[in-house]
Structures are given as structure tokens and as C-alpha cells.
Amino acid sequence: MTKLLSFLSLSLLLSPTLHADALRATGDLGIVIEREAHSALIVNTSQKTQLARIEDLGDLSHASVVFSRDQRFAYIFGRDGGLSKLDLLQDEVSHRIIQGGNSIGGAISQDGRIIAVSNYSPPGVKLFSADTLELLADIPATYGENQQSKTVGLVDAPNHRFVVSLFDAGEIWVIDATDVKNPHIDKFKNIGKQPYDALISADGRYYIAGLFAEKGLALLDLWHPENGVKRVLENYGKDDEQLPIYKMPHFEGWAMTSDYVFVPAIGRHEVLVLDSRTWQLVKTIPVLGQPVFVMARPDGRQIWVNFALPSNDKVQIIDAPSLTVTHTLNPGKAVLHFEFTPRGENVWVAARDDNQVIVYDTQTLNEITRLPADKPNGIFFSARAHKIGM
């Protein structure tokens, strides 16, 4: 009888149809942030459906998300200092802490063991266990005569490093977390006034910070940090009148292709095109408003651009080979964010004030479907787990 029961149990376990509807893969999952409701939707990007809604996640007005290596867990960084670990298979909060008073984003380490959080208050970077959210290291952003700086533009980098900019100090710090209890920090000073956001190239080589209080960008080559920080585009628009800034560009949404870097111009209705090898300006592309996100389809052929007020109901598409705007779409009111599926056949667009997420076919530009969401803000897919700086 015991052998028979064991055989039946093994047969049921190996049955390909057993509980098939209850099984869930993680590779096509994603998170849609519901800003006003303090909640997040778990979605399936293949079926284009909502799977679950997770509530009580705090202030999500500037929320960002990273994913564990196995794509099972999503880490949500809230503006109120909340750090929430969501289990995408159990549809629940696995762990949640309040780690600071004013947080601006985070990153996950190369090996997936460490979660880093960038804080305005208390000023600095904190490192946590990705497993338990236990605090591993607290790195105050102290500079000058015991002054403290808000930290921005935090990204992961190869060799167990994190890179962050200090807004008030005008510095870039490279944090080596190999020994997470005693992280080593290389500090690059006088990089420019008020770096407000940053990105890292897809290969992990270049860290680029935008400057708010002066023209240009700060570029650090992580392969050759001994060369220091290089200034890029420091003379662009230097003598031109700057338009009012209604929303700052987001550098994580820069587009980098094999040939070009597409950069949202601050206070101008232009997208700047740089040569990705020389970092020299190639062209400026006029667009209908002040760009916020400038993001490339995964194959680099299309560049999608959204805008601050009053043009935030529009999206424009730039053709990368011709460097021209080819299409203008009107998804809905207050387009705040968009995210491409891993191979780029679809793009999901958040229209906050229409309470909808719109899914487009990127080849035909036809609308596929609309999903209801309460003031959707950021959209983040689990494929980010395997990308540097995402």
C-alpha cells in the first residue's frame, strides 16, 4: 500500500496538467504603480491582464522598482522612505520597512544579494539584505565641512558596485560593496552644479549625470575611473533663453542605441542626439514639448518620447536611422511613463488622468487594449532583473 501511494503521489506530481492554472511563470510579469491609491498592480505582459492588486504601500509619488534575479520578487522604493518586497507568485508583501524619511530610488546589486536605497533624508545611501531587508551598511552623504547632500541617480554597476550622485555636493561616488559591511567609496568631486539624475549605459561602462544648475552633463568612464569625470555638452544652449521647466527629465529613460545617445533637453523642446563613441552633439530633433522620458525600443529602431505639461497627453516616435519624428500618438491625459516588453513588440503606456494603461503594437502603432488602473504612474517589467542599471 505504501509503495502504491508513493507511486500515485509521484504520478500526480509529474502530471503536466495538474494545477496548470495555478502555476505562474515570472518572466512575463510586471508592476504598475497606482500613485494616489498607494498600491501596485501585478500584471501579465503576455496575456495583457491584471493578476493582483497590492495595497498599503505608502507614498508612491516617485516610486521605482527593481526585481530579484529569479524575477519572483519586486522591490518598491517609495518616496516616504518605504521599502517593500513583493512576492509576485503569492500576490503579497513579503517584507516592508520604513528605512528613511524621503527616498528617491534604489538599485539591486550585480549578484542580487544587496538592495541599495538613495535618500534625501537622512542624506545618504543605505544597503540592505535582499532576502530579509536587514540593514547592512549606512553611508552618509557627507562632504565639505561636515555638510550633507541629497543623493540621486543611484544605479548598480559591474563588480558589485553602486554609483550615485550628490546633488548639493556636486560629486559622484562609486561604492564598492564587495565587503558589504565595510564598503569602499571612490569620490569624484567638482563634477558640476546640482546633478539631479543619472543613468548607466547598458554595458555598465558609462555613468552620466545631468546637471541642473549649469549646462552640460558629467560623464564617468567606469572602465577608466583614473581619468576622472569628463564634461559633455557644456556649451549647448549656453546663450539661449531657457523655457519654464514643468517636470524634470528622467535620465533612466534615456535612449542609448549602438550609434547614438538620445537625451531630453532641459527647458527646451528638443531631443539631443550624441555620438555614442565621441559624446559629441550630432543633431537636435525638434519635438512638440519639453521631453521627460526618451526611451528606445529594445532593437533601437524607435525612440519614444513623452512630455511635461501642456503636451503630456501626447507621445512622439523618432525613427533612429533618419533621426526624425515620424508619428505622434494621443494615448490619453497625463502620460507619465511607458515600458517596452522584453523584445519590444508591445509598449505599455500609463495615462494617469484617464486611469488607464494603454498597450500598443510597436510595429503597426495600433492600440491593442486598455487596462483600468487608478492613477497609474510607473510601469516596470520583470525582465529588468537581467539588465544593468534597471
pLDDT in tens, 198-241: 889 989 999 999 888 888 889 999 999 999 999 988 877 666 66
Half-sphere exposure of 78 (CA within 13 A, CB side): 26
Cα–Cα dist 269/258, whole Å: 24
What percentage of residues in the chain have a pLDDT greater than 90?
A: 77
The answer to whether the CB of 88 falls within 8 A of the CB of 72 is: yes
Q: Based on the fold, state whether residues 78 and 105 are members of the same structural domain.
A: yes
For the domain that residue 205 is a member of, what is the CATH number? 2.140.10.20
The answer to whether the CB of 272 falls within 8 A of the CB of 262 is: yes
- Residues 170-196 have a mean pLDDT of 96
Q: Based on the fold, state whether residues 193 and 247 are members of the same structural domain.
A: no
Q: Based on the fold, state whether residues 200 and 59 are members of the same structural domain.
A: yes
Q: Based on the fold, state whether residues 203 and 137 are members of the same structural domain.
A: yes
Query: Number of folded domains in the chain?
Result: 2
* pLDDT of the residue at 240: 61
Cα–Cα dist 205/221, whole Å: 6
Strands (E), 179-334: 184-188, 195-200, 206-211, 217-221, 229-232, 255-256, 260-264, 270-275, 281-286, 291-296, 302-307, 315-319, 324-329
81-91: per-residue pLDDT in tens?
A: 999 999 999 99
Q: Based on the fold, state whether residues 381 and 277 are members of the same structural domain.
A: yes
Q: Which of 204, 234, 264 is the last residue of a domain?
A: 234
Q: Which residue has the cell 534615456?
A: 254
In a domain, 21, yes or no: no
- Considering only CA atoms, give the Rg of the chain: 22
23 pLDDT tier (thresholds 50, 70, 90):
confident
* pLDDT of the residue at 338: 93
Q: Based on the fold, state whether residues 267 and 385 are members of the same structural domain.
A: yes
Q: Based on the fold, state whether residues 375 and 276 are members of the same structural domain.
A: yes
Q: Based on the fold, state whether residues 143 and 213 are members of the same structural domain.
A: yes
In a domain, 55, yes or no: yes
265 pLDDT tier (thresholds 50, 70, 90):
confident
In a domain, 302, yes or no: yes
**Positive or negative: CA dihedral 212, 375, 41, 356:** negative
Q: What are the CA-CA distances from residue 324 to residues 15, 315, 319, 327, 386 (Å)?
A: 54, 14, 6, 9, 31
Half-sphere exposure of 105 (CA within 13 A, CB side): 24
* pLDDT of the residue at 253: 60
Residue 15 predicted with pLDDT over 50: no
In a domain, 6, yes or no: no
* pLDDT of the residue at 107: 97
In a domain, 213, yes or no: yes
In a domain, 387, yes or no: yes
pTM above 0.95, yes or no: no
In a domain, 14, yes or no: no
Q: Based on the fold, state whether residues 275 and 390 are members of the same structural domain.
A: yes
Q: Based on the fold, state whether residues 190 and 268 are members of the same structural domain.
A: no
In a domain, 98, yes or no: yes
Q: Which of 234, 266, 287 is the last residue of a domain?
A: 234
Q: Based on the fold, state whether residues 202 and 330 are members of the same structural domain.
A: no
Cα–Cα dist 273/35, whole Å: 32
Mean pLDDT computed over every residue of the chain: 90
Q: Based on the fold, state whether residues 226 and 249 are members of the same structural domain.
A: no
Q: Which of 183, 206, 234 is the last residue of a domain?
A: 234
- Domain of residue 300 covers 242-390
* pLDDT of the residue at 211: 87
For the domain that residue 311 is a member of, what is the CATH number? 2.130.10.10
The one-letter amino acid code at 211 reads: L
* pLDDT of the residue at 244: 52
